[in-house]
C-alpha cells in the first residue's frame, strides 16, 4: 500500500514535471519604455507570455519597464553587468558605450525592413552585431521594426534647403546630426513637452515614429505638413542577453528564449505596420487636411550629402565601423536591385 502511494505520488510528480506550473528558470528583463507603452513595450509583455506558454510554464520572465528600473537608457549596462539577464531597447542609444552599436538599428537612406532583416539573418548583420556586443558580454537578437519612419510634422512647408537653415526640429541621434549638417538646429525635449512646443512654435518641426505612435501624440492637430521618411527607414529594436547567463542554461531553454525573441520581433513588425495603417486612416478621417509631402529633390540631395559626410567619418574611425558600413553598403546595393524589380515596381504599376 505504501509502495502504491509512492508510485502514485511518483506518477503525480512526473506529470507535474511535464505539465508544470512552477517556473524552473526565472529571468529578469528590463526594457527602455514606460509600462504598457504601445507596440515597443507591449511586445515585451507578449514575449514573456510566449516563453511561458511554449515552455509549459517552466521559463518565467519578469519584465521591468522604466517605471520600475528608472533608467531608460541603462539597458546596455544592466545586461552587461548581469543586473538583468535580458534587455530590450534600441542599439543606437548606446553609441556612448560603444560607437559601433550605432549601425544596428537603421541608417538614413539605408535598407528597408525587408532588406535589413535579410542582411541581419543572411548577410552577416547579426554576426557583426554580436561581434560588437560580444566584447561587452552581451548576445543580441532583433526585437521588432517600425518600418519606414515618417520625416516628421512641420509647421511650414519645406521648399528648399534654405528653409531648413535655423529650423528648430526635435530629431535626436544620427538623423539630427544629418539635419545639423544642412543648417537645421536639432533640439531635444521630453516627450511630454513636444505637443505644446510644436503648437506654440517653440520648435518648428519634430519627428516621432509614424502613424502607429504619432496618433496618440496629437501632432497632426498642430502641424499640417507630414513629411515622408528618409532618416530611419527600418528602425529595429534589439534584445540583449547576458552571455554568461545564457551559457548557464540548458540548450532548450536558451533556444526558447532566443527563438521566442525572434518571433516577437517579426510579430512587432507586423503589428506596427497594422497600427500605422489603422491610425493613418483615423488621422485622415479626423483631420482630412493633413498635407503629406515629400522633400524636394534638392533637399534630399543635401541630406544625402550630409549623411555621406558623417558616414565617411565613421568609416575612418575604426576597422570595425568600416567592416560594418561596407557590409551594409554591399548588401543594400544587391537587395535594392531586387526590390526595384519586385516590390517597388509592383507598387508603382498597380496603383495606376
Positions 220 through 239 that interact with a second copy (CB under 8 A) = 226, 228-230, 233
Pick the closest to residue 307 from 207, 188, 177, 209 (CA basis). 177
Interface pick for a second copy out of 85, 115, 139, 243 (rule CB under 8 A): 115
Return the ∠ at Cα 265 (arms to 283 and 83), rounded to 5°: 115
The interface region with a second copy, picked from 3-11, 157-165, 178-186, 316-324 by CB under 8 A, is 3-11
Residue 97 or 346: the one with the smaller Cβ distance to a second copy is 346
Q: Does 18 bind a second copy (CB under 8 A)?
A: yes
- What binding mask, one character per residue, do residues 193-222 give for a second copy by CB under 8 A, x or -? -----------------xx-----------
Residue 16 or 196: the one with the smaller Cβ distance to a second copy is 16
Q: 213-233: string of b/e by CB count within 10 Å (b at 16+)?
A: bbbebebbeebbbbbebbbbb
Interface pick for a second copy out of 70, 190, 251, 288 (rule CB under 8 A): 251
Rg for the chain, CA atoms, rounded: 23
Find where cell 517600425 sits. 146
Positions 58 through 77 that interact with a second copy (CB under 8 A) = none
Positions 289 through 308 that interact with a second copy (CB under 8 A) = 292, 294-295, 297, 300
CB of 213 to a second copy, least distance (A): 13
- What binding mask, one character per residue, do residues 126-155 give for a second copy by CB under 8 A, x or -? ---------------------xx-x-----
Residue 36 or 277: the one with the smaller Cβ distance to a second copy is 277
Residue 118 or 222: the one with the smaller Cβ distance to a second copy is 118
Q: 28-58: string of b/e by CB count within 10 Å (b at 16+)?
A: bbbbbbeeebbbbbebbbbbbebbbebbeeb
Helices (H), the chain: 2-18, 42-54, 66-69, 75-81, 113-122, 125-134, 173-181, 191-200, 211-214, 243-248, 251-286, 297-317, 319-339, 345-350
Amino acid at each position: 500500500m505504501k509502495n502504491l502511494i509512492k508510485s502514485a505520488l511518483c506518477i503525480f510528480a512526473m506529470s507535474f514535471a511535464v505539465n508544470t506550473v512552477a517556473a524552473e528558470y526565472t529571468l529578469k528583463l528590463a526594457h527602455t519604455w514606460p509600462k504598457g507603452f504601445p507596440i515597443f513595450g507591449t511586445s515585451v509583455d507578449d514575449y514573456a507570455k510566449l516563453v511561458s506558454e511554449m515552455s509549459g510554464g517552466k521559463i518565467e520572465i519578469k519584465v521591468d519597464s522604466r517605471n520600475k528600473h528608472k533608467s531608460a537608457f541603462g539597458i546596455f549596462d544592466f545586461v552587461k553587468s548581469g543586473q538583468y539577464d535580458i534587455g530590450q531597447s534600441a542599439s543606437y542609444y548606446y553609441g556612448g558605450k560603444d560607437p559601433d552599436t550605432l549601425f544596428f538599428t537603421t541608417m538614413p537612406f539605408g535598407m528597408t525592413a525587408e532588406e535589413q532583416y535579410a542582411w541581419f539573418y543572411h548577410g552577416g548583420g547579426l554576426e557583426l552585431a554580436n561581434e560588437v556586443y560580444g566584447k561587452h558580454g552581451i548576445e543580441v537578437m532583433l526585437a521588432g521594426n517600425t518600418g519606414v519612419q515618417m520625416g516628421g510634422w512641420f509647421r511650414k512647408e519645406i521648399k528648399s534647403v534654405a528653409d531648413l537653415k535655423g529650423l528648430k526640429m526635435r530629431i535626436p541621434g544620427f538623423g539630427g546630426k544629418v539635419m545639423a549638417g544642412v543648417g537645421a538646429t536639432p533640439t531635444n525635449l521630453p516627450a511630454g513637452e513636444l505637443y505644446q512646443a510644436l503648437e506654440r512654435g517653440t520648435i518648428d518641426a519634430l519627428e516621432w515614429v509614424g502613424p502607429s505612435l504619432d496618433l496618440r501624440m496629437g501632432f497632426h492637430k498642430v502641424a499640417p505638413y507630414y513629411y515622408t521618411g528618409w532618416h530611419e527607414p527600418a528602425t529595429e529594436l534589439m534584445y540583449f542577453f547576458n552571455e554568461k547567463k545564457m551559457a548557464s542554461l540548458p540548450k532548450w531553454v536558451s533556444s526558447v528564449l532566443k527563438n521566442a525573441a525572434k518571433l516577437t520581433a517579426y510579430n512587432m513588425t507586423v503589428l506596427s505596420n497594422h497600427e500605422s495603417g489603422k491610425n493613418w486612416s483615423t488621422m485622415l478621417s479626423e483631420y482630412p487636411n493633413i498635407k503629406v509631402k515629400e522633400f524636394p529633390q534638392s533637399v534630399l540631395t543635401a541630406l544625402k550629402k550630409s549623411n555621406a559626410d558623417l558616414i565617411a567619418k565613421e568609416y575612418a574611425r575604426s576597422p570595425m565601423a568600416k567592416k560594418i558600413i561596407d557590409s551594409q553598403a554591399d548588401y543594400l546595393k544587391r537587395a535594392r536591385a531586387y526590390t526595384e524589380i519586385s516590390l517597388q515596381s509592383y507598387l508603382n504599376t498597380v496603383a495606376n
